[in-house]
């Protein structure tokens, strides 16, 4: 019985450690899902398909998120490295100034006080500039109705808010470093951190949408790279795309498929249906064909046009 409290204590520590790991992983998974969903939605919307009709799973969206997230993550990492290097440089400068302030020579102490005063003024100027940029971001939000058609609004606005909040936070941090006796206002700092986090999330989501749209436009220019499909149906489809060839199959005993369509490409496969697009050069008259995977259609996937590489026998 004496070991029972210690056993419970160990279990509590294990549970606490597991919770500290599971919670961040859940947040990261949710973020990856959202960015993958935003990118996929913009990509397939270009082809006239609502991504919700495809039936992709949560894992599919998570696996699609690294592409649109790669560039903003690299930018944030490089920015973090630059800020860390700048912060280390400033800390060394401040530490040297405080050390000179304890020097027995009056001239050295005066020079240290002047340096600290200039640095404090610079830090407060950074805070003031940050508040100005932050107000500019707020003005952009208030002008949403007038700037709605500006294509760069969804990216410029969050970046402006993030830059303003970051400048204020960093300027206040340097000011506290120069004057440790000054008490910072914690609620204000927490509000700025929230503004920074939400703005970075907004900007990254916008970039994910743009990435999906760009991928769709690139795919439309190289549509023939997609798998080629021959589609047999029992009824005519009356497609609007002119470059899809329709062929009437000759009647035969036991043959239920009467029409054959060529020059179709597989855009994506859903749970129980295929999404086909016309091959060849992109045209505004093209549309996406939704084909259920049942007995009413027959599909053939063609080989690539390039022949396999043949190795000559020795």
pTM: 0.75
Q: How far apart are CA 281 and CA 288, in angstroms?
A: 14
Evaluate whether 252 touches 297 at the Cβ level (below 8 Å).
no
Q: Would you state the pLDDT for residue 272?
A: 82
249: how many CB neighbours lie within 10 A of its CB?
A: 12
Parts of the chain with a pLDDT under 70: 1-25, 100, 103, 180-186, 305-314
Q: Would you state the pLDDT for residue 306?
A: 67
pLDDT in tens, 36-77: 899 999 999 998 889 988 888 888 888 888 888 888 888 888
Q: If 0-12 CB within 10 Å is exposed, 13-18 middle and 19+ buried, where does residue 229 land? A: buried
Q: Would you state the pLDDT for residue 40?
A: 92
Evaluate whether 169 touches 125 at the Cβ level (below 8 Å).
no
Percent of the chain surpassing pLDDT 90: 19
* Domain boundaries defined on the chain: 21-220, 223-301
Q: How far apart are CA 231 and CA 3, in angstroms?
A: 71
């Amino acid at each position: 019985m004496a070991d029972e409290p210690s056993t419970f204590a160990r279990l509590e520590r294990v549970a606490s450690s597991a919770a500290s790991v599971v919670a961040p992983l859940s947040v990261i998974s949710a973020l990856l899902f959202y960015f993958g969903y935003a990118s996929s939605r913009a990509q397939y919307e270009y082809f006239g398909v609502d991504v919700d009709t495809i039936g992709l799973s949560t894992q599919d969206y998570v696996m699609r998120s690294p592409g649109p997230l790669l560039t903003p993550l690299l930018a944030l990492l490089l920015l973090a490295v630059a800020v860390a290097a700048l912060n280390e440089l400033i800390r060394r400068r401040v530490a040297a100034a405080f050390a000179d302030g304890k020097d027995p020579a009056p001239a050295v102490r005066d020079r240290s006080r002047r340096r600290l005063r200039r640095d404090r003024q610079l830090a407060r100027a950074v805070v003031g500039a940050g508040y100005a940029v932050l107000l500019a971001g707020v003005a952009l939000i208030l002008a949403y109705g007038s700037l709605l058609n500006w294509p760069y609004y969804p990216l410029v606005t969050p970046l402006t808010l993030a830059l303003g909040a970051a400048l204020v936070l960093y300027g206040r941090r340097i000011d506290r470093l120069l004057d440790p006796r000054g008490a910072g206002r914690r609620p204000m700092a927490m509000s700025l951190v929230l503004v920074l986090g939400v703005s970075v999330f907004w900007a990254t989501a916008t970039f994910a949408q743009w990435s999906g749209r760009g991928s769709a436009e690139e795919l439309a220019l190289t549509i023939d790279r997609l798998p080629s499909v021959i589609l047999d149906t029992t009824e005519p489809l009356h497609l609007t795309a002119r470059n899809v060839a329709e062929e009437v199959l000759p009647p035969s005993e036991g043959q239920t498929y009467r029409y054959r369509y060529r020059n179709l490409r597989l855009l994506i496969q859903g749970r129980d249906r295929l999404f086909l697009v016309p091959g060849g050069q992109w045209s505004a008259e093209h549309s996406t064909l939704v084909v259920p995977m049942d007995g009413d259609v027959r599909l053939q996937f063609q080989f690539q046009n390039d022949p396999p590489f043949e190795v000559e026998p020795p």
